[in-house]
Structure 1
């Protein structure tokens, strides 16, 4: 498992499964001739997107960012439609680190689309139950409200099965929330109305988890936004803001979906300075 140290904060990528989504949808109006130079595409015009949660360990707390696609949660039709070739091995990843789901104190959800939240529940004795029953779960109040009351577009990804079993664990926040010292969630909107990013800061080092504002390193151009984005102009505005912040602070950018990099650091000229490569 790949790791990244931010001061005394340790980030470890777990195995949450994968999807393969349409490359055109993932890069919006950008021509394939351009984006395919930067990110591999298969014969079905699909690109690999990991769904790998990040375990953060700091001050004795075990914190997970996102939850993967789960195991046994998707139907055969969904597995095919979403191009899943590997379901989650989240609990196995934790076991390798000497942890169990009961050891997780906090879960951070940048948003609640199925590929970020389905791993939070599993079926036990015919009922869906929380995988991390001891954890406090944080997401923006805007996201939580839409999760429970999706509109005609978002109901395809906000499923009641994904929130009913964890409702009592949810802690919605407004605007900005320091989760523990050094870890802050910031509501950005864009990809979804309630989408948030994460900022990690410790001992003078910084990392930013852009989530689905920038799902892969190939989305570094601020104008390259997803057809899946509900508010693309907000995505552009927020990408420009936070990529500038990352450059000014020499920050790492971490990924949940990228099949090549776990994290990357660019200089002000967008030249790659350091990477944490995903081991396949």
Structure 2
């Protein structure tokens, strides 16, 4: 289990599942000869994308960033379409830390697309119930509104089974939300309600840009997803937070990257430090 330990904050990556999505969609207008040098694809032009929540611990609190794919939520057709070859081992990985889902205090949802939110609920006796019954689930007000009232495009990723049974646990924010050294910032871009995380632990900084920079190969501010609802907002947010992070020698962390959990970039654009995902 990979970890990033700061002075007062510890981050651990849990196994939340894996998908394989079209590389062209994940890199938008960037030509394949360019993006495929940085992130490999299979014979079907699909790239491997983890869906691995981050367990954050500080000051006795247990916090998850995202929730993974969950278990028993995807149909056989959906598994085929999304290349979902593995479901969640979050509960087993929590047990390695001496924790159960009941011990999670907060779940920070950068957005509520199915590949981030499926792990919030589980099928049980013909309905869905909360996986983390004692957690407060944090999301932007804009994202929560669209989750419950999706439009003709977004209804394919905002699913009722992922929100209906946990709505009493949800706390929403406008602009920013903070808890100790952690700040959530509403950026828009990938979705209208998309947010990022910034952790400031004394002189150490971590930036989690979620799906406006889903992998290390998306570091170029112009390399945004065809899935983005507002790509210019993604570009603007990436410009702002890349500059902020590089000035502070920040770690950039990932939920989807199949190769790196976290990286620091040098001024040259090369990776200066890294936490690699252990390959099975």
Q: For the superposition of Structure 1 and Structure 2, which TM-score range results when normalised by the shorter chain? A: over 0.9
* 1:1-280 alignment, distance < 5 Å: 1-178=1-178, 180-280=179-279
Task: Report Cα offsets for 1:128-160 as digits up to 9, x if no partner.
Answer: 000000000100000000001001110000011
TM-fit CA distance, 1:219: 0.4
What is the rounded CA distance, in whole Å, between the counterparts of 1:278 and 1:107 in structure 2? 22
Normalising by structure 1, what TM-score? 0.99
In the alignment, is the contact (CA less than 8 A) between 1:248 and 1:268 conserved in 2? no
Give the Cα–Cα distance (whole angstroms) in 1 for the partners of residues 233 and 200 of structure 2: 25
| SS class of match (1:161) | helix
- CA shift at 1:39, angstroms? 0.3
- Structure 1: 5+ residue stretches without partners: none
How far apart in 1 are the matches of 2:252 and 2:21? 22
Q: Distance in 2 between matches of 1:191 and 1:7?
A: 31
**Which stretch shows the higher mean deviation, 97-106 or 122-131?**
122-131
Where 2:47 maps in the other structure, the secondary structure is strand
Superposed displacement of residue 267, structure 1 = 2.0
- Paired residues in the alignment total 279
What are structure 2's unaligned runs of at least 5 residues?
none
> Cα distance, 1:126 vs. partner?
2.2
Over the aligned positions, Cα root-mean-square deviation in angstroms equals 0.6
1:25-72 deviation line (CA, Å, top 9, x unaligned): 000000000000000100000000000000000000000000001111
Q: Separation in 2 of the partners of 1:272 and 1:79?
A: 33
